[in-house]
Amino acid sequence: MDIKGGVVIVTGSATGVGAACAKLLASKGCNVVINYTKSEAEARETAAACEALGVETLLVQADVSKDEDCRRMVETTMAKWGRIDGLINNAGTTQFVNHANLDGLSADDFLRIYSVNVVGPFQMTRAVTPHMKAAGRGAVVNISSIAGVMGLGSSVAYTASKGALNTMTLSLARALGPEIRVNTVCPGFIQGRWLRGGMGDDAYEAAVAAQERNTPLRKAGTPEDMAQAAVWFVEGADLITGEFLIVDAGSHLGGAPLRPR
């Protein structure tokens, strides 16, 4: 898919992986929808960085757990450009709770995490589907986690939600072809404020050092690493659908403690 002059929606794109995806798309000449829930200042900074690369952006405040917000974001995009070539479902949330602390999570915690991590991508995909089908092509990329493969991560609720997102990818890939491809990126450790805030400074720095010392590729992942994989699924994987790509410097092969996104 040639994305130059195209349009891609990136949910949760004010910071982190989402922002990195938006900037990489912009560097390739693709117009980008920058979505945020609360981080307006950071979203505006991301939009400015994209526009400095010569593309147009659309800034949309929307909560992907709300269907009306998802539909509004898509319709606003269509009103501006009349096309949607790609969707990167990056928005996500978690709660850091030790897996052995079963009393640390409530049913409401599960429902909140699932509403963003699973229901949100479903609603966004549903909203873009008629437009992609009408255009005859489109690509959906879900940003999941190695947590959904290995059962390790910030909490049991989070790992379960990412496992659900992975299986939903398979279902949607079957249902939406041949026009729409649906794939998933499963990041491992990602440097940035998400993990630093959840783990605390000391544990975070120790985990970075462990990744750089023990993984086969001797590297701790960055948002930019994940963006490379996600954007490739949009533009460079025309014969691929229903796949999961683990991007973790080889952590899943053993070695460093896995502390997924």
- Catalytic residue positions? 158
Nearest to 189 by CA among 235, 156, 150: 150
- Residue 110 sits at φ, ψ, to 5 deg, of -60, -45
* The token pair that represents 202 in the structure block: 């000391």
Give the separation between CA 156 and CA 251, rounded to whole angstroms. Answer: 19
Q: Give residue 182's Cα distance to chain centre.
A: 13
Give the separation between CA 3 and CA 8, rounded to whole angstroms. Answer: 8
